[in-house]
Amino acid sequence: MTPHNEAKPGDYAETVLLPGDPLRAKWIAENFFDDARQVNGVRNCLGFTGTWKGKPVSVQATGMGQPSTAIYVHELLDVYKVKNLIRVGTCGGLNPKVKVRDVVIAMTASTDSAMNQSFAPFSYAPFADYELLRRAVDLATTRGFRWHVASVSSSDTFYAPGGIGDYKKLVAHGVVAVEMEAAIIYTLAKRFDARALTICTMSDCLVSGEEIDASERQSSLKDMVELALDTGLDI
Ligand code: HPA
């Protein structure tokens, strides 16, 4: 038990999916897991454990942004000894080559967050686990998804005052999307010798203004969750 998590040791599987939204965690447990049971309800930041294709798996909401995510991820790694973390979320597109609905698999995550500056100096470059990344790419290819292994920006600001202009120099150096959590998940996973990957659906393009609609959001979410669950299967 922790101040933010009422689960007991052993309540989480070794592989945990990490959506931001608690209701998305519930939706994943209800629609994909067999034998799902709630393991955390503190602050309504829901966590569930069940099975996928007969193997134990969990899902834990992180809330939005790196400080909130860091609390849940740190505790999953330190207290619950979780080994594989797969964030499933959405991202905003910064490059017209990345279209809405495309799957962005984040190889690295640059961040403006102060969290990483104190944890890891030298402009530390948070990076994904290669084995999870390779598996996700192989599965996405087999499934015919439009995917990009890419560098993302984990920003502390959703409403960037300068809009896409605030990301111009990152875009000039290959960053294709913005989200809010990947960097701290990667940093903490390395500290605890665990694996981590971020898989995002591109929900809105900051360049064109194009946005995913409600039915597309649901079907791309389903594809992404299945991709994430199969990526973490038997690792
Ligand atoms: N900014 C940050 N995170 C996001 C965005 C965005 O524009 N779109 C989806 N997730």
Encode pLDDT of 135-189 as tens digits.
Answer: 999 999 999 999 999 999 999 999 999 999 999 999 999 999 999 999 999 999 9
Q: How confident is the model at residue 109 (pLDDT cuts 50, 70, 90)?
A: very high
Can you give the pLDDT at residue 68? 98
Q: For the chain, give the percent of residues with pLDDT over 90.
A: 93
Cα of 42 from ligand 1 centre, angstroms: 26
Average pLDDT, the chain: 96
Choose the catalytic residue: 21, 166, 204, 223: 204
Residue nearest to atom 7 of ligand 1 (CA): 92
Can you give the pLDDT at residue 214? 83
Q: For the chain, give the percent of residues with pLDDT over 70.
A: 100
Give the mean model confidence (pLDDT) for residues 214-226: 91
Least confident window among 62-66, 86-90, 118-122, 135-139: 118-122
Cα of 144 from ligand 1 centre, angstroms: 25
Q: Which domains does the chain have, with CATH numbers?
A: 15-231 (3.40.50.1580)
Can you give the pLDDT at residue 217? 84
Closest ligand 1 atom, CA of 155? 2
Best residue for ligand 1 mutational test, from 95, 158, 207, 221 (most atoms within 8 Å of Cβ): 158
Cα-Cα-Cα-Cα torsion 16, 62, 130, 82, nearest 10 degrees, comes to -40
Give the mean model confidence (pLDDT) for residues 38-67: 98
230 tagged catalytic: no
Q: How confident is the model at residue 48 (pLDDT cuts 50, 70, 90)?
A: very high
Query: Computed from CA positions of residues 182, 187, 191, 195, in that sequence, does the dihedral angle turn out positive or negative?
Result: positive
Distances (CA, A) of 188 to 63, 166, 208: 16, 26, 34
pTM over 0.85, yes/no: yes
Ligand 1: does its nearest atom lie under 6 Å from the Cβ of 179?
Answer: yes
